């Protein structure tokens, strides 16, 4: 199966879609929440939900057919601590995060997001400054944010904007620039595929510190300056191989 991209800036995906609150999603909504942004076919969260029954797990995915297939798997297993929702994280997630009860969001994962290589397409990438700030505001103290990719030109801007926020930091004992292993017990399908080929996976784990979030315009300026300093990347077919 080849990764199927959709343009998140197209009119259809820019329509705000209200997301249900945890009380309408989970059998026990007060459990700590793990949010997986870009859940794809959902098999990672399906395994996590069974491994961690005392957590709630929510997968947000912009490709509706994948959400429908993942939800069918969840319903077949009757998992009350797992849901998948269709939506654009940079359109529908911010207001949902603001409404979360304090301390509920304990883990966020963004793993192998679509690699929009060209500079003119960077606004299609999932981790925009607005989303970084919304996540930081919602994350409980010391809660985790894990980002992973097999493409350096994708992970490096993610790391830059996260660290520019000042409110998320790496554990002091983590290897730099990239973690040696996955801190979670379950790898994604993409991760297994990449590692099976002997290729590297670039990972960083962050924890929410006590610093306040900065003004949005400061993060935007940082991102714009970074893009100005880097040449436009050419399309790289080798960076987006077929996935199982």
pLDDT at 118: 42
CATH fold, domain 18-231, is: Rossmann fold (3.40.50)
Burial 163-172 (b: 16+ CB within 10 A, else e): bbbebbebee
Smallest CA-to-CA distance from 128 within 101, 182, 165, 95 is with 165
Q: CA–CA separation, 183 vs 134, rounded Å? A: 23
Say whether pLDDT at 8 is over 60: no
Alpha-carbon distance values, 108 to 34, 118, 184 (Å) = 6, 26, 12
Classify 13 in phi/psi space as left (phi over 0), alpha (psi -120 to 50) or beta. Answer: alpha
Q: Which pLDDT tens digit goes with each residue over 92-134?
A: 899 999 999 999 999 999 999 875 444 443 444 558 889 999 9
Catalytic residue among 73, 114, 150, 235: 114
Q: CA–CA separation, 121 vs 56, rounded Å? A: 33
Q: Report the 3 state secondary structure along 158-175.
A: HHHHHHHHCCEECCCCCC
pLDDT at 221: 84
State mean pLDDT over 41-45.
96
Q: Tell me the pLDDT band of 33, cut-offs 50, 70 and 90.
A: very high
Q: Which pLDDT tens digit goes with each residue over 160-183?
A: 899 989 999 999 888 889 998 999
pLDDT at 70: 97
Percent of the chain with pLDDT over 70: 81
Is 180 tagged catalytic? no
pTM: 0.85
Q: Tell me the pLDDT band of 220, cut-offs 50, 70 and 90.
A: confident
pLDDT at 52: 98
pLDDT at 230: 58
pLDDT at 2: 39
Q: CA–CA separation, 78 vs 80, rounded Å? A: 6
Bigger pLDDT: 183 or 224? 183
pLDDT at 237: 41
Say whether pLDDT at 203 is over 90: yes
Q: First-to-last CA distance in the chain?
A: 6
Q: CA–CA separation, 158 vs 5, rounded Å? A: 19
Bigger pLDDT: 221 or 98? 98
């Amino acid at each position: 199966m080849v990764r199927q991209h959709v343009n998140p800036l197209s009119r259809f995906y820019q329509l705000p879609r209200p997301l249900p609150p945890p009380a309408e999603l989970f059998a026990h909504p007060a459990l700590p929440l793990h949010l997986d942004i870009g859940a794809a076919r959902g098999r990672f969260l399906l395994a996590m939900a069974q491994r961690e029954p005392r957590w709630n797990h929510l997968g947000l995915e912009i490709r509706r057919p994948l959400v429908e297939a993942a939800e069918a798997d969840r319903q077949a297993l009757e998992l009350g601590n797992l849901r998948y929702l269709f939506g654009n994280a940079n359109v529908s997630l911010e207001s949902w995060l603001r409404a979360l009860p304090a301390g509920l969001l304990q883990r966020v994962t963004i793993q192998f997001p679509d690699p929009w290589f060209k500079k003119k397409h960077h606004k299609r990438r999932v981790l925009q400054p607005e989303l970084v700030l919304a996540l930081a505001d919602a994350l409980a103290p010391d809660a985790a944010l894990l980002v992973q990719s097999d493409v350096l030109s994708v992970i490096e801007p993610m790391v830059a904007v996260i660290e520019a926020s000042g409110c998320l930091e790496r554990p002091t004992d983590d290897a730099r620039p990239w973690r040696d292993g996955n801190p979670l017990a379950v790898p994604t399908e993409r991760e297994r595929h990449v590692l099976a080929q002997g290729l590297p996976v670039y990972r960083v784990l962050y924890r929410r510190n006590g610093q306040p979030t900065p003004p949005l315009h400061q993060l935007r300026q940082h991102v714009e300056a970074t893009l100005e300093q880097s040449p436009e990347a050419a399309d790289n077919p080798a960076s987006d191989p077929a996935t199982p």
